[in-house]
Amino acid sequence: MSEIPPDLLYTEEHEYLKPTGDEGVYQVGITDYAQGELGDIVFIELPESGKGVSAGDVLTTVESVKSVSEIYAPLGGEITDANSALEADPGLINSDPYGEGWIVKIRLGDPGELSGMMSGDEYEQLIKG
């Protein structure tokens, strides 16, 4: 199992939040554990920038060689960017989930929602079961 970046926030649905440096904007993707469970990702349908989402909404679906899976919004806000590089190479989610394989950027609507996220240590305990 690869290392879980300690500076990110995580959900029980295996999404991560990574601060972008732009205040209130977070990069969202799926964890290395999640991409490993999915297998080789062959297609992703990206959401539109400017779309509002609530925590728990379906952000997008990814298709892997094993299945089609939904990716959920870990928090509410506005999608400010979608990673268009994934349209040409969805496998970036497999090869670099915490870097080039990010899915969307969301401007947080309510900073209080961050309190429901897990730390890297808490996430590690979740996946170790």
Q: Could you tell me the fold of the domain covering 9-111?
A: OB fold (Dihydrolipoamide Acetyltransferase, E2P) (2.40.50)
Paired residues of 45 in beta bridges? 61
pTM of the model: 0.94
- Quote the CA–CA distance of 43 and 36 in Å, as a whole number: 15
Could you tell me which of 78, 44, 79 has the C-alpha nearest to residue 63? 44
**Residue-level pLDDT at 98:** 96
pLDDT digits (tens, 9 = 90+) for 39-62: 999 999 999 999 999 999 999 999
Query: Where in the chain are the domains?
Result: 9-111
pLDDT category of residue 88 using cuts at 50, 70 and 90: very high
- Name the band, by pLDDT with cuts 50, 70 and 90, for residue 2: low
Please, is 115 exposed, middle or buried when counting C-beta atoms within 10 Å of its C-beta (0-12, 13-18, 19+)? exposed
Per-residue model confidence (pLDDT) at position 129? 83
pLDDT tens-digit readout, 11-39: 999 999 999 999 999 999 999 999 999 99
% of the chain surpassing 70 pLDDT: 98
